[in-house]
Structure 1
Amino acid sequence: MLDNTATTSTKSKMSARDVKVFYGEKQAIKGVSIDIDMDNVVAFIGPSGCGKSTFLRTLNRMNDTIPIARVEGDITLDGENIYSSSMDVVQLRARVGMVFQKPNPFPKSIYDNVAYGPRIHGLAPNKAELDQIVENSLVRAGLWNEVKDRLQDSGTALSGGQQQRLCIARAIAVDPEVILMDEPCSALDPIATAKIEELIHELRGRYAIVIVTHNMQQAARVSQKTAFFHLGTMVEYGDTSDIFTNPREERTRDYITGRYG
């Protein structure tokens, strides 16, 4: 039986109900429903082109940037419809931050990368408070000790793994409630990947976290809940341990065991 509705036992931070995404006439997402809470890192897995990144982008309205994209269904953040006309999209993207596949620091100093969001959102009334936000964000992102003596160096001069942690610090700096990660380790070496995974463990509980990954071992390591996507449908959702050891759906089992992907 197709499990297209996913709920959690704790209060949801975000909820999606019967979400469909269209690019022009092509339907990319077919009626996905899921709840996301603060206590569990959620991993989206599935073969390339299955819709997992497309669905992730609905959660902070990144698909709004694509003229032919259309989203149907309901997505709420703390019970508020994020697609309502009254929703401030800039504010939404501060509350629901995104970390992309390829590290994308601004061509600014390390300090200014992290300070950018708090400045434009008016979160720091003075330099001392801004300094504290920058330091706290870099500490949480596991980067402070590596960069504290060179905050005026360019963010683009950091290594790939450091750049990705800088982008996470930048997302954290505006005090989000949800962090979306779209294959954040795919461009990184194993050591940098391990640091990002360790960071995800440390951030769990402070933020609701959703990660898209092609790496099933990574999903097993970092998440407590896993959703398997295939051909635009969420085939199965449940505890990560169950998805990987005792999936209910044959398509999930075939993917996990490498029969396709």
Structure 2
Amino acid sequence: MAEYDTETVVHEEMTLRNDAKMTARDVSVFYGQKQAVRSVSIDVDSHYVTAFIGPSGCGKSTFLRCFNRMNDTIDIARVEGDIDLDGRDIYDPKMDVVQLRARVGMVFQKPNPFPKSIYENIAYGPRIHGLAESKTDMDRIVETSLQRAGLWNEVKDRLDESGTALSGGQQQRLCIARAIAVDPEVILMDEPCSALDPIATAKVEELIDELQGRYAIVIVTHNMQQAARVSQRTAFFHLGHLVEYGPTDEIFTNPKADRTRDYITGRFG
């Protein structure tokens, strides 16, 4: 592999701002003595889908999990730097992590519906957060969430059936509907289509396109074609570094960093 200047980061036409939905500044992540993410700064805008791409083990999923403090669940993980949501430090000791994860939802690589009915999968979050005052309110939240996830017409007559009985693609859309149900501001997606067949993948990608602008969305994907299809901003990670960040079409057609160009053209990955 070619030698690269690991300190060079290219922000193509992307000026770091203070008015982005979420901002990360000089974020590093350690697992014990091993450093997985190295001083990353990036903005997440409400108006765009942002894709994180890069080879396996490059730190993109680890960095994604910083945005709703999922790394807190790993005893040996340590996060340094600053991440703000609407200007507030999410690692402030006074931050309510449960409320944070309601505002910054997460969809995982493998669909993980609760072993409950389809209805209860959606109702669980709004119930514990007190978002519905009546059964009518809850019914509305469930229907709206399933509609936004493109699943309502497929399950409206079987809401009492188990969510685990759905197909893999339907389960993933159910998990997206579950995240939407608590009225988040940001949705994080960690390789949401990697376990799905092409038809289910296409439906999830259509859903991401429909949700764009309603939520700030960040997706980690190993599929560069998917990143090109669904995102408007792309960040390329390599060996724990953010190498290049900019408009998706520019990253894929005219990358500025040699490492980005080599990855995009298949020289490594």
TM-score (structure 1 length as normaliser): 0.98
| Alignment map for 1:1-261 (pairs within 5 Å) | 2-3=8-9, 7=15, 11-261=19-269
Q: Contact 1:4/1:31 (CA < 8 Å) preserved in 2?
A: no
Deviates more, 1:9-18 or 1:41-50: 9-18
Three-state SS of the structure 2 residue aligned to 1:12 is coil
Three-state SS of the structure 2 residue aligned to 1:248 is coil
Give CA-to-partner distance per residue, 1:131-159, whole Å, 9 cap, x none.
Answer: 00000000000000000000000000000
- In structure 1, C-alpha distance between the alignment counterparts of 2:195 and 2:23, rounded to whole Å: 30
Runs of 4+ in 1 over 3 A off after TM superposition: 4-11
- In structure 2, C-alpha distance between the alignment counterparts of 1:194 and 1:7, rounded to whole Å: 32
Q: Contact 2:23/2:83 (CA < 8 Å) preserved in 1?
A: yes
Q: Quick one: structure 1 residues 33 and 58, their matched pair in 2 at CA, closer, same or farther if it must change by over 3 Å? A: same
Q: Contact 2:10/2:256 (CA < 8 Å) preserved in 1?
A: no
Q: Contact 1:4/1:33 (CA < 8 Å) preserved in 2?
A: no
- In structure 2, C-alpha distance between the alignment counterparts of 1:167 and 1:250, rounded to whole Å: 38
Match of 2:4 in 1: none
- In structure 2, C-alpha distance between the alignment counterparts of 1:154 and 1:175, rounded to whole Å: 23
Task: Give 1:199's aligned amino acid.
Answer: L
Deviation at 1:3, TM superposition (A): 1.9
- In structure 2, C-alpha distance between the alignment counterparts of 1:120 and 1:143, rounded to whole Å: 23
- In structure 1, C-alpha distance between the alignment counterparts of 2:18 and 2:150, rounded to whole Å: 28
Task: Give 1:73's aligned amino acid.
Answer: G
Q: Contact 2:52/2:60 (CA < 8 Å) preserved in 1?
A: yes
Q: Which runs of 5+ in 1 are unaligned?
A: none
Q: Quick one: structure 1 residues 128 and 213, their matched pair in 2 at CA, closer, same or farther if it must change by over 3 Å? A: same
Q: Which runs of 5+ in 2 are unaligned?
A: 1-6
Deviation at 1:39, TM superposition (A): 0.9
Deviation at 1:42, TM superposition (A): 0.2
Three-state SS of the structure 1 residue aligned to 2:21 is strand
Q: Contact 1:41/1:225 (CA < 8 Å) preserved in 2?
A: yes
Deviation at 1:11, TM superposition (A): 3.4
Give CA-to-partner distance per residue, 1:207-241, whole Å, 9 cap, x none.
Answer: 00000000000000000000000000000000000
Q: CA RMSD in A?
A: 1.2
Three-state SS of the structure 1 residue aligned to 2:200 is helix
Q: Percent identity among equivalent residues?
A: 79
Three-state SS of the structure 2 residue aligned to 1:48 is coil
Task: Give 1:146's aligned amino acid.
Answer: E
- In structure 2, C-alpha distance between the alignment counterparts of 1:4 and 1:260, rounded to whole Å: 19
Deviation at 1:7, TM superposition (A): 3.8
- In structure 2, C-alpha distance between the alignment counterparts of 1:158 and 1:165, rounded to whole Å: 10
Q: Quick one: structure 1 residues 245 and 258, their matched pair in 2 at CA, closer, same or farther if it must change by over 3 Å? A: same
